[in-house]
Homo-oligomer: A and B are copies of this chain.
Amino acid sequence: MSAQIKPIVRSLACQSCPIREHTLCSATDVRTMECLRTGTRHVTPGVDVFPQGGDCTNLYIMLSGWACLYELLEDGRRQILQFLLPGDVLGFNRHDGVATFGAQAITTVSACVVPRDRFMEAALKRPQLALELSALIAAQEAMAYEHLTSVGRRTARERVAYLLLELFCRARSRIPSDSLDQITLPLTQSHIADASGLTPVHTNRMLRNLREAGIIELNQRTLRVRNPDLLAAAAGFEREVTLPYLPHRRWILGHARAKDVDNDGMVTA
């Protein structure tokens, strides 16, 4: 494979795109997206898809690989805001001004590149697309809220368990190659720590704890969930959880502190 002539493939055109149906693109016809996109971008592990503070004029639709949204404080503390898997979209929340967070490739990432202004223009003519976009952002917002309550109100063990459960569910539903009880998890413990608001050292101890409890196995970039129910319990769920999709997880009854009742119907004027 040295001096061989490489055939020019229009790599990953929309028609043959494996994730077309599972992301933003499904809201419109193949032709439209085909015209909007300018190409595919490949990013090597550790480098930014777009840096914090920089401007980013493109939307990126994740095609393969893992990335993360992060925010750095000025003294180096890092918070990982979200892990991005195939089908996730980056870059729309950077309208005006400079956003406070960046995106970084964890594994080798390939992403579909769509200039934002071009996309917005198209969305003006195809409201379906605009609404799909807002639904997508709303889902991401909901996930951000879940992370917030996790980091704000769960114990270290619960946070780690919750994160693993989330990633397990998301990866399993997105990446078909993964088997039923395990996924490939290309994260370092520092990634997990920065997403959970913990130190790497303490994250390690929590992982050991979960491992010794027979709940998970985690080594060589693979996470095996030996007992999903126990993992859910460790994450703080007392009753059932719907595994396949976590982001909009089914809520479970019982409001411990909800002394107040809904008063829908008090519409006056």
Contact = CB atoms under 8 A, between A and B. Distances in A.
A198 to B, nearest CB: 9
Contact of A95 (B138, B252, B268): B138
Stoichiometry (number of copies)? 2
Contacts of A139: 93
Contacts of A47: 260-263
A266 B74 CA distance: 28
Contact of A154 (B73, B98, B196): B73
A74 B237 contact: yes
Interface stretch (A126-134, A171-179, A214-222): A126-134
Interface residues of A, number: 97
A267 interface: yes
Interface stretch (A34-42, A180-188, A201-209, A223-231): A34-42
Given A43-B263, A127-B130, 11 more contacts: A39-B268, A50-B262, A52-B255, A75-B256, A79-B153, A93-B141, A93-B142, A97-B248, A99-B251, A124-B131, A148-B151
Interface of A: 9-12, 38-44, 46-48, 50-54, 69, 71-79, 81, 92-93, 95-102, 104, 113, 120, 123-128, 130-131, 133-135, 137-142, 144-149, 151-154, 194, 196-197, 236-239, 248-258, 260-264, 266-269
